Amino acid sequence: MLVIVAPGQGAQTPGFLAPWLEDRVFASRLHWLSTVAGIDLAHHGTVSDADTIRDTRIAQPLLVATTLVATLELFPHPGDGFNQVGAVAGHSVGELAAAVGARAISAEQAMVLVRERGVAMAEAAAATPTGMTALLGGDRDEVLAALARHGLTPANDNGPGQVVAAGTLEQLDALKADPPPGARLMPLSVAGAFHTDHMAPAVDHVARLALSVSTHDPRIPLISNRDGQVIHDGREVLKRIVGQIASPVRWDLCLDAMSDLGVTGILEMPPAGTLTGIAKRYFKGQGVETFALKTPDQLDDARAFCAKHGEGSLIDVTPTWRMVVSPAKGTFELDGAAGGADLLTAGAEIGTIISLRDRIVVTAAHGGQVVEWLVEDGDLVSPGQPLLRLHPEGVE
Catalytic residues: 92, 195
Mode of pairing for the β-strands spanning 265-268 and 289-292: parallel
131 closest CA partner among 184, 54, 204: 54
**Is the Cβ–Cβ distance between 10 and 63 less than 8 Å?**
no
Q: What DSSP state is assigned to residue 195?
A: T
101 closest CA partner among 113, 90, 112, 117: 90
Q: What is the C-alpha to C-alpha distance for residues 325 and 313, in angstroms, rounded to an integer?
A: 12
Label each residue of 132-193 as H, E or C: EEEEEECCHHHHHHHHHHCCCEEEEECCCCEEEEEEEHHHHHHHHHCCCCCEEEEECCCCCC
Which regions of the chain does DSSP assign to beta strands (E)?
Answer: 2-6, 85-90, 130-137, 153-157, 162-168, 183-187, 222-223, 230-231, 265-268, 289-292, 322-325, 330-334, 343-344, 348-354, 359-364, 368-373, 380-381, 386-391
**Is the Cβ–Cβ distance between 118 and 8 less than 8 Å?**
no
Q: What DSSP state is assigned to residue 322?
A: E
Q: What is the C-alpha to C-alpha distance for residues 314 and 311, in angstroms, rounded to an integer?
A: 9
In angstroms, the first-to-last Cα distance of the chain is 35
**Is the Cβ–Cβ distance between 9 and 92 less than 8 Å?**
yes
**Is the Cβ–Cβ distance between 326 and 332 less than 8 Å?**
yes
CA distances from 149 to 130, 164, 180, 247 (A): 17, 15, 10, 19
Q: What DSSP state is assigned to residue 103?
A: T
State the Cα angle at 53 between 279 and 20, rounded to 5°: 70
